[in-house]
Structures are given as C-alpha cells and as structure tokens.
Amino acid sequence: MLTGLVHSGQQPISGSSVDLYVAGTSGYGTGSVSLLSGSVTTGSDGRFTMSGSLSCPSANSQVYVVATGGDAGAGDNNSTVLMAALGNCSDLGSDVVADVSEISSMAAVYALSPFMTPGTAAVGTSSTNINGLVNAFSTVNNLVDPAQGTARTTTPAGNGVVPQTRINALANIMAACVVTKGDGACSQLFSLATPPGGTTPTDTLSAMLDIALNPGNNVAQLSAVQSATKVFQPALAGAPSDWTLSIEYTGGGLNLPQLLAVDGSGNIWVPNSAGFPGVLSEFSPVGAPLSGANGFTGGGLNEPFAVAVDTSGNIWSANYAGGVSEHTSAGVPLSGTLGFTYSGLVNPVALAIDTVGDVFTANSNNTVTKLNPSGTPVAQITGGLNNPYAVAIDTAQNVWVANYGANSISKFNNAGAPFSASGYTGGMSQPSGIAIDRNGNAWVANFNRASVSELSSTGVLLSGSSGYATSAPASSVAIDGDNTVWTANTDGSISRLSASGGSISPLKTGYVSPAATAEVGIALDASGNVWTTDDTLGAGNGSIFEYIGAGAPTVTPLQFAVKNKTIGRRP
C-alpha cells in the first residue's frame, strides 16, 4: 500500500487523478509502465491511497507518481500535472508517503529531464544506462525533503548548498497556473515556456520540463509569472541570470581543485593542486565525500592538475611537481611512493588514456610522454609542441595536444609520429583545453579569448578566425552525449554550444551558479549532470558545482567512449 498527498502550497488538490509508474529501460523518454490497474483519485483533503501489493519489475526499478487535474480551490484545472520521484520500487512500503506538489515536481523535472520527453510524463533510459537513471532519481533527494515536502537548503550529506530560493521561485511559477481553473495564467506560462522553434506545452509539467531543458529562455518574463503573494518561501527576490539549478559541494579534501573526471559508477574524481604533498578527492554521484575529510594521498601525488579514469576504474593523475600517480577506485595507491617517474616526464599538467590503457601526458618541457598500463615509459613525443596544456585521444587512437604557448594544436598517431610538423594554427588564443566530438572534430578552449575553436579531423579550421563565442574566456571543454559542447569559463560561468557552434546558453552570461567565480574543469556524467571545479579559495579550499540535468547523459569514463566509439553519444 502507498499513500500520499497532492497539494499546491498548503492548499490540497481534490479530484486529482493519480498514477504510479515505473520508468522505462528501452529508450530515453519512453517506456514507462503503470504499476496500477487504474488511477486513484484524491479526496477533498488531497490525500490518496494505492491499495494492494506492488509488483516491481526489478529491485532497482525506478518509480514515480503523476497527478493530473484536480481542484486547488478555484475549480477543476485540466492543465495541472504534478510529479514526485520516489526512487527504488523495492523501497516502497506502508511507511512511504508520497508528497506531490510543485516542489516535488521541480526536483523531479530537473533531475530527470535528460530522461524525459516534452509533452509526456514518460521517463525512460536505455538498457545500457540503468545506473545513470538510478543516480538521477537519487539526485532528486538532494533537492527536496520528501518527508517535509520542502526544498532543501543543504544536501543530506551536509556538504552541498542547495538553491532553495530558486527552486521555490520555479515552484511559484508553476503554482501560478495550478491554483487557477486553467485561465490566462496558464496560457501565459505555456507561451513563455515554449522553446525557440518548439511546441507550446499544454500542461504544467510539460511547461516546467521545457524550462529545465531551455533554462536561458524568457528568464525575466517567467520570473514575473509568480504571484505577488508567493506560495513557496523564501523565493528569489528578482529574476536570475538563468533557470539552471546547481549545487555547490565542499569537503572531501578539496584544496584548489583542477581538472576533474567521472568514473563508470558516476563518482567524481578531483585533483587538488594545493596542499602538500598532494590530494585526490572523490565524491559520490550525489556529491557526498567518499575520500574522507582530507582526501586520498600517496602514490607520488604532488600538485596533481588533472585526472583520468581507465576502464579498470583506476585513477591516473598528472602531478605538476612530480610524475604520474595511479590509485584504485578505493583510493589505494598503485604507483609506489614516488609515483611513475622518468627523466623526460617533467611537470605534467594533463593526461589522457587510449583504448589499451596507455597514458599520454602533456609535459612542461614541450614533450608528451607515453606510459604503458604498468606505468613504464614507452615513448617520448616531440615536434611542434610549445607549452602543451591539454591532451585528448580520438577513436582512431590519435593524440591531440593543445599548445598554450604557440596558439596551435598538434596531432600525432599513437606511436608519436606527427601529422603536421608545426601543428595546426589559426583562430586560437592560448588554447587550454581540448575535446574530441563524435565526428572526430577537435574543440579547443581559448583561455585568452571568449571563444572555442573547432578543427576537423584533418586539422582544418572550421570556426573561423575568431572561433565560436562563449560568455567568457574558457579554461576547459567537454562533449556530452548529444554531441553538444560545454566550456568551463574563467568568470565562473559555463557555456553550451551546439555541434555547429551556435550558442545554446545565453551568449552574454552563459549559465551561472551564484557562488561560482572561476571555473577550471568540466565533465559530464551518465545522468546528464554537468560537473565543474572552482579554484577560487576565498575563505575555504575551493569547491565543485553540479548543474542538475543540464546536459545529456554521457558515457563514462571517457576511455570507454573512446574505446567503444561512443564519444558524443548517449550510453
């Protein structure tokens, strides 16, 4: 048996039709199946009861409630659709009370948006990304307290700051329609939520999903939809720069965090360049520290600047003040006290891993070192390199290097032979990051100009002399599962661009987490969350940010995508 309450603020919604669904596993945004033989209806107090036992397809089947229609006090409103994500089907019992409101809807819509389709209430993933869906459902609990039915201020683990006022503002926007009979307030919401070139939504859940998927659209106008007497408090006093929801996490040994990576379980690995001798931080898919208060140490860690995860789940670190370190997924050193060292391996700042587990490092002595999976150097690559600052591997196993000191990109085959002696030039300004998309094109973050540059697989400049505009100079770049491009920017913003270079995020501001000041690294997980590092110490030791459901589910770790030729594709 499952009981629950459907309400708008403190006002119960009577006569609402309530259904219980299990999320699909045969494709994104489709395949949901009802666990009931029919809907149940809320009483005058907004409460409902689902009697009988529930048959879960599997222990980790993810379930959610959808409430359609009902009267919040002004009369029946057929435009009302609310949602609450409940999580594992096996966890449901008589002690679970489903609280369904605008708050629960916002938490569910944002966390699950990569797994939903506008115009429906269906939630689904592919058969190969069950873990990404499970983690997304778990993220809902970071945003809302299901027992109280309120937006949280901190995550359950205690180390994440939740944007409560922004969640409440979004809930108020939704409530502006819910509390009516479906009159002009609903029409206004639906019109403003319509994505550029898209279909106008016809219910509140679809409208809020459109906002979650297009968080830079009609921001100020949507903020004004809130009634003067806001149902959910505290709420934003004015319009934000965008409608993304982001959580700031601290702890876990963070100390000037740099270029992060995501492993196959969705855990976040962060190298910290401050502190002696060196620290790795690990966070769970919901941002809880897994590395203790002081992080993981040993294995030769010494000012690590970048990490990469291999297909065995081991973590490799490039140490600016040392060599290369390797740790297990439990944080146990594999590389010995001094790490893997070599006379030519000088101040490495970045690294990437190919399909067989060979590790390529970008070194400050204008070389790239190739290490085999045992950490033994097998090649020292030179030619055209000038202050190499980033490295990436394409699906043909070629090695791409961003030369910060020469405004160029070098490309080598896997054995280290260059494709161009002097590298590829044009349109770049202090390139500091590089990523390969599904077409084999290279995207380059420009640290000295608010832009990214794109080169074809043969090194032809595709983005013109000025590149594609970002909201601020970019530190690093990543590709998500829809082949869209993300940059971490020096002013604390992040930018999203289409595969053709068009700006998806607001061109002038990007997407901004209010507390972010200087983004360094950027990575995506299999739930579609965007993770960044911020190395401004301030009163603390830096932090990481999670933009909830802002991107597309992405294959992790990156080496899997390279090996299986699934870069820029959903898992």
Which pLDDT tens digit goes with each residue over 88-103? 998 887 778 999 999 9
Interatomic CA distance for residues 189 and 194, integer angstroms: 9
Q: Are 69 and 76 in contact (CB under 8 A)?
A: yes
pLDDT band, residue 540 (cuts 50/70/90): low
Q: Where are the domains of the chain?
A: 2-149, 246-564
Across-strand partners of 228? none
Q: Beta strands of 35-155 (E only): which ranges?
A: 40-41, 47-50, 62-68, 81-88, 97-100, 144-145, 150-151
pLDDT band at 531 (very low <50, low <70, confident <90, very high): very high
Amino acid found at 375: G
Instruction: State the DSSP code for 333.
Output: B
Distance of CA 365 to the CA centre of its chain: 34
Whether the per-residue pLDDT at 538 is higher than 70: the answer is no
Which CATH class, in words, describes the domain spanning 246-564? mainly beta
Cα(305)–Cα(272) distance, rounded to whole angstroms?
Answer: 7
Computed over every residue of the chain, the mean pLDDT equals 97
Reported as a single tens digit per residue, the pLDDT across 324-345 is: 999 999 999 999 999 999 999 9
Cα–Cα separations (whole angstroms), residue 215 to 140, 161, 239, 399: 18, 20, 12, 35
For 167-202, what is each residue's pLDDT tens digit?
A: 999 999 999 999 999 989 999 999 999 999 999 999
